Amino acid sequence: MSGPLALVGGGEWTAGCTFDRELLAASEADEVLVIPAGSAFENPRRALEQAGAWFAELGARARGLDVLTRTDGLVAEHVDAVRAARFTYLIGTSPMHLRSVLKDSPLYDALVGAWHDGAVLAGSGAGADVLCDPMVDTRGGAYTVGLGLLPGLAVIPRVNQWSPEKVRRTVELAPPGVPVVGIPEATALIRDPDGTWRVDGVGEVTVYLDGALAPLEVLGGIVPR
């Protein structure tokens, strides 16, 4: 059975991200593997330091994996580390770069394999966006191809930083039948192993389907690959 999957709106490892304690317990591990590729151009070292301090308070270690480029994602040691990890976090603000690092790579295959074997997978910001297909290009709000772990679902990370007009435009551009979920910072949309979806953290998510507001239950038809 696949493990828990958390799509975090950004603002990871800050006050209000209470879901991390629960996800850590579900992993039955004392180490979290962090892949900072989505922050490759924004001081990834600082993000890893923040992760270390945050998870230390939860009684665990955070280990950064030096994956910032496509070449890094082909290193056998990195692939093995991801496959063995029981809790992996994808982070960053650039979904386009993160996609270029992971798409059709052995590292992505290892990530999905570990999750299908019960490991916890969390994606924050770009890390949440890229797991979906279609993927929102957060620069302008249009759609492009994502990694497709969650086909037929799109998310808007850090939606609290978007203008109402930008959100409206993105919702209107969504393909028919594809739910679009706005996730604010320090908030997680969580898929439990039994396939149910719920929200945790400080904010509230907003679900749109075919241009109208929709209940969270419409996500029940999303079948991961």
Q: What is the DSSP string of the chain?
A: ----EEEE-S-TTSTT-THHHHHHHHHT-SEEEEEEEETTTS-HHHHHHHHHHHHHHTT-EEEE----STTGGG-HHHHHHHHH-SEEEEEES-HHHHHHHHTT-HHHHHHHHHHHTT-EEEEETHHHHHTEESEEETTTTEEE----SEETBEEEETGGGS-HHHHHHHHHHSPTT--EEEE-TTEEEEE-TTS-EEEEESS--EEEETTEEE-GGGGGG----
According to the model, what pLDDT value does residue 42 have? 85
According to the model, what pLDDT value does residue 18 have? 96
According to the model, what pLDDT value does residue 68 have? 95
Domain extent listing, the chain:
5-221
User: For 63-78, how does the pLDDT look when each residue is reduced to its tens digit (9 = 90+)?
Assistant: 999 999 999 999 999 9
According to the model, what pLDDT value does residue 43 have? 86
According to the model, what pLDDT value does residue 204 have? 97
According to the model, what pLDDT value does residue 209 have? 98
User: For 4-46, how does the pLDDT look when each residue is reduced to its tens digit (9 = 90+)?
Assistant: 999 999 999 999 999 999 999 999 999 999 999 999 888 888 9
According to the model, what pLDDT value does residue 1 have? 87
According to the model, what pLDDT value does residue 41 have? 86
Residues of the chain with pLDDT under 70: none
pTM exceeding 0.95:
yes
What's the topology of domain 5-221? Answer: Rossmann fold (3.40.50)
According to the model, what pLDDT value does residue 55 have? 98
